[in-house]
């Protein structure tokens, strides 16, 4: 591996280390994550501006309660600049929760990826994703389980290296219409 490549990877890993929350691993039995293949789409009008690396995601969140189990489903689409060359297996997810001043809990999701530094195309790729949080997945700092029914909003951030400058979307957790999980 060249010195330039090594430095880029090391720099990217250091930058991603600032993301708050707990990383969701593939071995986590209480949280499932699926990211679909990215599909190209172009911005139809050239306004002569440099497009950002990411756009705010579109998100739908609902809680399913079948009487004994409660699950929070998060479905959405993330928009990433085509020039980044991101593949679906390059996404990583982190989460935490906050207690808002309104007295409600909010689940925060951070969707991250490592990419090249290019950014000069007008096009984007959209990546559909689905997350499922099972009861017991969200815990406070004392390791006590936070009941999913107490989570009233979800904010999803697509993090482009810098969590402070990333784009996020807040959505209200709605009751399920009977949609099955995966």
pLDDT > 50? residue 85? yes
What is the structure's pLDDT at 161?
A: 58
- Between CA 13 and CA 66 the distance in angstroms is 40
Nearest to 52 by CA among 128, 130, 158: 158
Mean pLDDT of the chain: 79
Indicate whether 16 pLDDT > 90. no
Dihedral, CA of residue 174, residue 177, residue 178 and residue 181, to nearest 10? -50
Instruction: State the greatest distance between any 2 C-alpha atoms of the chain, in Å, as a whole number.
Output: 56
Nearest to 166 by CA among 62, 39, 18: 18
In which band, very low, low, confident or very high, does the pLDDT at 177 lie, cut at 50, 70 and 90? low
∠ CA 43-49-54, nearest 5°, is 60
Identify whether the C-beta of residue 52 lies closer than 8 Å to the C-beta of residue 159.
Answer: no
User: Is residue 90 pLDDT above 70, yes or no?
Assistant: yes
Whether 30 shows a pLDDT value over 90: the answer reads: yes
Phi/psi-derived region of residue 15, left when phi > 0, alpha when psi is between -120 and 50, beta in every other case: alpha
**pTM score, two decimals?**
0.77
Looking at per-residue confidence, does 86 or 51 come out higher?
Answer: 86
Between 46 and 40, name the one with better pLDDT: 40
Pairing of strands 54-65, 167-172: unpaired
User: Lowest-confidence range among 86-100, 143-157, 166-180?
Assistant: 166-180
130 pLDDT band, cuts 50/70/90, is: very high
Confidence class for position 87, pLDDT limits 50, 70, 90: confident
**31 and 132 Cβ atoms separated by less than 8 Å:** yes
């Amino acid at each position: 591996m060249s010195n330039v490549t090594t430095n880029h990877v090391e720099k990217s890993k250091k930058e991603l280390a600032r993301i708050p929350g707990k990383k969701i691993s593939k071995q986590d039995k209480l949280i499932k994550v699926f990211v679909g293949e990215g599909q190209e789409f172009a911005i139809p009008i050239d306004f002569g501006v440099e497009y950002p690396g990411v756009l705010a995601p579109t998100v739908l969140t609902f809680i399913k309660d079948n009487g004994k189990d409660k699950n929070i489903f998060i479905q959405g689409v993330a928009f990433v600049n085509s020039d980044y060359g991101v593949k679906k297996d390059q996404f990583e997810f982190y989460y935490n929760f906050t207690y808002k001043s309104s007295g409600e809990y909010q689940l925060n999701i951070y969707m991250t990826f490592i990419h090249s530094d290019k950014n000069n195309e007008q096009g984007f790729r959209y990546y559909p994703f689905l997350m499922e949080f099972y009861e017991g997945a969200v815990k406070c700092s004392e390791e006590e389980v936070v009941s999913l029914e107490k989570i009233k909003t979800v904010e999803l951030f697509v993090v482009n290296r810098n969590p402070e400058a990333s784009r996020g979307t807040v959505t209200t957790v709605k009751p399920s219409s009977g949609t099955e999980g995966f």
